Chain A
């Protein structure tokens, strides 16, 4: 092994010694000694290399390792010698590392890891936007056709729309989410199926529809039947042929506002020609794969041209100023998560910084008590670099242990995080401690070692040798060290303050959002969904009427109603244009509303209030006068200052002839319902009586006086008696949806709160450490002061002042920092100003209290000092 080889340097020293011996031999012979005696004398005078105190060994690899091991052993011994310091330092650092590990695992899984598709970087969504619409929109069938034919840089363009459907047959009927896709959709994602095949581009299915199952549904409903491919299954009221099964880890990752949920059951191609669908029905979520090497700006300019061509074709779209936005899939999928996650990540970094500051302080204090030791080693000839190395190795050892403990903390923290994660994180499975996360932990530990390890070590080797040796233990703090300590404390308070403000803003936002009135009363409201696909329209209408009557007759039920789309639900939204009477088609071209088909009892069951006119009742039949209800948002913008009741409005209805515009009469105005977000009013709303638009699925809302879970069991029983082919799905209290809607905010607020609490605790500990160290160094001074007539309270005040002055400076700097942070958090804040006075008014005393708590004990100790003892020290 080359490590063990003697290096040329050693030969060289040997040679030098030998040469000198030869010179000496010459001299001795000259003086008259015999050659033999001369040789012996020379040997005696110049010892062998081994007996010389030359540290030649340092240059070989083996001995470098040996001396490092020696340093490590020494470091371990030094750390063991002060267990208090070591435990506190390791726990503090492990806490910081643990928090960062947990958050980074989420950040990595959600933001950084590439999507599990073939060349995910080539995939991008294409969203439409209209002049007056506040949010981006899906695309219509004809527009998709135009895009597919006009784009020059896209290799493939596919579209998806998610609805629901029921599997029937021998086992219990089951309602699942159904992805209607263009035939190229699955092929384009490039995930090979686990069984069979996926649809091919431009494939035509004559006869029974072909479907591809997700792995979950295949396992659940078909028991993982390995020969399912080619079999016919009862689906959507007919027999469909299974042509393939997707692999277990396959999942669609779509942005939240796309209404494409991850838990799909089945893929089925659109049966009709999409280009013949109405031009105003925006429902297709478009995904494109660009040709290799096409950059995002190139793709965007390609789509700009397509949009311009489409605008040239249709005057109404020109009036709407139709634009097409290319959103790279990887980024777009997490667009709502980016800001909160980055905010949380920064928060956790702040916590780590505070931990490092605390440890730097500890090390500083320790370094000064070790000045003696270091001075002695320097005097004994240890080189400065060796001492720095020694201290660094101590820091690294600390970090290695803390990193391991921190990893354990992080793992536990991650379990905790996953248990409170909102649904949006559930979309991202496999949040775990993997290699990149471990690498991150190592890097963070190392960086912290450098951060807090280096400063004190330079400081202590710089200290003047003679001075330290002379002090022999009776040292006071050097002014330089006190400044460093003070700066560290100020930094800590600043960081802590920023975190507390951030947490304050998030918690205030949460309370505001939880207090939002969503346009309905979610308490004591049970909801569930039914798929009515198997009925023809008249059957559907009569079934729903009878079914609602059955429900209403159940004990404990106050009111019952059905709606095509529950507010805050996951079902693909239905929104379409509307045109108030008196506006030309062009003028109304950009007007879009959420459409809901409801039964007469629905709004009453939900507790949504009528502002004007009436609700639907039994008069509103399919063949009768077409009527609608609108919300106040629509009424105010369409007929400002007038009564909306009795006005005519063109709305889109599902009729036997398809989806067509129908002139209907507004019979009432109800309050706005938050359909999509607790914090935003997105679109106005139009309600159509269910008999006039009998959509294929209906969610029921049952207001009850009893336990919703018990009621659910009764309802399930009723349904089975009535119809074996119908499946009850999504049975949950309405409060679940409301909770889900506020979950992301709650998640952010809870974490920010935890970070702030940690920061406060750490800051208090940090202040305690610095002040008590400073007090212990100044006991002598305190004794002198008291001997000269200072009272205990004078001393108390003196020490407290030291801590509180630093705290005030920290708060001042923190307030400045918090102003910047608030700006960055603006998009996460709801219902309060970014410079929320309440958050600031609470944060200042809270931080000050933490500081007082930190200072109190050392100050009390100083004040209780016996002047005689203090002087004798």
Chain B
């Protein structure tokens, strides 16, 4: 298993949005889910997670509401808003473009 790495700058927002598009969840749930889906390649530390959540909420892409956690703890659950969904699509397209560009570059050089 490779060393877990910090998430690339600029892709964190997309990952959070994507995760929340699956189901509403609280902050820790988001970071758990990202680690799980990327099989431990990316871990999101709380130090970047909470600012990201705050930023996304400020932008109106996600919406937080208080609810009960699995252990009957209070927790803030985030849901994707419609404009968040649109933003996710946009980010995905950008990512794909950049990704394939980088790939082409790598292939050309090899």
Contact = CB atoms under 8 A, between A and B. Distances in A.
A23 B76 contact: no
Given A16-B76, A24-B28, A47-B46, A52 B51 contact: yes
Contacts of B73: 19, 22-23, 26
The interface residues of chain A, by DSSP majority, are classed as: helix
A751 B69 CA distance: 78
B71 A20 contact: no
A20 B51 contact: no
A17 B75 CA distance: 9
B54 interface: yes
A23 B54 contact: no
Contact of B51 (A23, A46, A53): A53
Given A26-B71, A47-B46, A20 B54 contact: no
A16 B27 contact: yes
Contact of A13 (B26, B47, B48, B54): B54
Interface of A: 13, 15-17, 19-20, 22-24, 26, 45-47, 51-54, 56
A43 to B, nearest CB: 11
Contacts of B26: 19-20, 23
Interface in B39-86: 46-48, 50-51, 54, 64, 69, 71, 73-76
A54 B51 contact: yes
A46 B44 CA distance: 12
A23 B71 CA distance: 8
B50 A52 contact: yes
Interface string B16-38: 00000000001110000000000
Contacts of B51: 52-54
B43 to A, nearest CB: 11
B109 to A, nearest CB: 17
B47 A20 contact: no
B25 to A, nearest CB: 12
Most chain B CB atoms below 10 A, which of A13, A16, A45, A53: A16
27 contacts: A13-B54, A15-B74, A15-B76, A16-B27, A16-B50, A16-B64, A16-B75, A16-B76, A19-B26, A19-B69, A19-B73, A19-B74, A19-B75, A19-B76, A20-B26, A22-B74, A23-B69, A23-B71, A26-B71, A45-B46, A47-B47, A51-B47, A52-B46, A52-B50, A53-B51, A54-B51, A56-B54
A15 B65 CA distance: 12
Nearest to B71: A26
Contacts of A20: 26-28, 46, 75
A56 B50 CA distance: 11
A24 B27 CA distance: 11
A52 B50 CA distance: 8
A20 B30 CA distance: 12
Contact of B50 (A15, A22, A23, A54): A54
A53 B71 contact: no
Nearest to A53: B51
Contact of A52 (B47, B64, B69, B75): B47
Given A19-B75, A23-B75, A24-B28, A46 B54 contact: no
Nearest to A45: B46
Given A19-B74, A23-B75, A13 B50 contact: yes
Interface of B: 26-28, 46-48, 50-51, 54, 64, 69, 71, 73-76
Given A13-B54, A19-B75, A53 B28 contact: no
A41 B75 CA distance: 19
Nearest to B26: A20
A24 B65 CA distance: 19
Contacts of B50: 13, 16-17, 46, 52, 54
Contacts of A17: 46, 50
A363 to B, nearest CB: 29
A23 B28 contact: yes
Contacts of B27: 16, 20
Nearest to A51: B47
Contact of B47 (A15, A26, A53): A53
A54 B47 CA distance: 9
A411 to B, nearest CB: 46
Contacts of A51: 47
Contacts of A16: 27, 50, 64, 75-76
Nearest to B48: A53
B76 to A, nearest CB: 5
Nearest to B50: A52
Contacts of B46: 17, 20, 45-47, 52
Most chain A CB atoms below 10 A, which of B26, B50, B69, B73: B50
B51 to A, nearest CB: 5
7 residue pairs, one from A and one from B, having the closest CB atoms: A16-B76, A46-B46, A54-B51, A53-B51, A54-B54, A19-B74, A19-B75
Given A16-B76, A19-B69, A52-B47, 4 more contacts: A15-B76, A19-B26, A22-B73, A54-B54
Contacts of B75: 16, 19-20, 23
Nearest to B69: A23
A321 B22 CA distance: 90
Most chain A CB atoms below 10 A, which of B46, B48, B75: B46
A56 B64 CA distance: 16
A501 to B, nearest CB: 52
A285 B51 CA distance: 79
Contacts of A46: 46, 50
B19 to A, nearest CB: 16
B2 to A, nearest CB: 22
B66 to A, nearest CB: 8
A403 to B, nearest CB: 34
A46 B47 CA distance: 7
A54 B52 CA distance: 8
A52 B74 CA distance: 21
Most chain B CB atoms below 10 A, which of A51, A52, A56: A52
Contacts of A47: 46-47
A390 to B, nearest CB: 18
B26 to A, nearest CB: 7
A703 B50 CA distance: 97
A24 B75 CA distance: 12
Contacts of B48: 53
A749 B50 CA distance: 68
Contacts of A56: 54
B15 to A, nearest CB: 16
A56 B51 CA distance: 9
A759 to B, nearest CB: 46
A344 B4 CA distance: 73
A11 to B, nearest CB: 12
Nearest to B29: A23
Contacts of B69: 19, 23
A844 to B, nearest CB: 52
Contacts of B54: 13, 54, 56
Contacts of A54: 50-51, 54
B37 to A, nearest CB: 19
A52 B26 CA distance: 18
A687 to B, nearest CB: 88
A23 B30 CA distance: 13
Contacts of B76: 15-16, 19
Contacts of A52: 46-47, 50-51
B83 to A, nearest CB: 15
A401 B47 CA distance: 42
Contacts of A19: 26, 69, 73-76
Nearest to A49: B50
B59 to A, nearest CB: 9
A82 B51 CA distance: 35
A13 B57 CA distance: 12
